[in-house]
Amino acid sequence: MSPGGPVPGPDGLLRCPWGLSTEDYVAYHDEEWGRPVHGDDALFERLCLEAFQSGLSWITILRRRETFRTAFQGFRIASVAAFVDEDRERLLLDEGIIRNRAKIDATLANARLLAGWSPGELDTLIWSYAPDPAERPVPRTVADVPAVTDASTALSKALKKRGLRFIGPTTAYALMQACGLVDDHVEGCVARGGGATPDH
């Protein structure tokens, strides 16, 4: 087994190494990461959380996700778009989230922008950049997984052109991985291809 390839967990099933690096990651790795996500609000949540993750580790965001959801009213676009100055100040004082002024402001601005889009427009735009799986080599180790691709660069440019903020090519690729536009589970991983979800 190559370094960086799948490793067996306590249940004997092979997983991407990062999926076993901390207990918090197991369920996320097995049940969410790489599985298709659809719906404007659901994609808006992932878009926001990936932006908040920029410069930090994903585990920091994952452990605060429920607090984020409470603070941003479930990341419903219409709800966040209606936030006023008092809500912004509340968020800046909320120790349960990442109190980054630029990221909070971007989240509110993006919600206001997206509130003017047609239903399903965000979903359609993001998924239009999903590459053909047949044209992507299966990563054998985590070293084979890129941080940015031509597709994520194009997606980033498209979102920025429409006025969305805090969505660079690397963040766009993390979004593509998390929402199942690409499957970057390594070869042999139990979760690759959306296989049967292990019991927890």
Residue 58 catalytic? yes
Residue 50 catalytic? yes
Estimate to the nearest angstrom the gap between the alpha carbon of 199 and the chain centroid.
23
Distance CA 30, CA 61 (A): 17
Distance CA 124, CA 147 (A): 23
Single-letter code of the amino acid located at 26: V
Structure tokens at 33: 């990461």
Q: How distant, in Å, are the alpha carbons of 7, 55, 76, 85, 105 from that of 61?
A: 24, 11, 18, 24, 18
Distance CA 34, CA 191 (A): 8
Alpha helices in the chain (DSSP H): 23-31, 40-53, 58-62, 65-71, 77-81, 85-92, 101-114, 121-127, 150-161, 169-178
Structure tokens at 126: 């993001």
> Which residue among 18, 25, 50, 129 is the active-site one?
50
CA atoms lying within 13 Å on the CB side of residue 178: 22
Residue 25 catalytic? no
Known catalytic residues are: 28, 50, 58
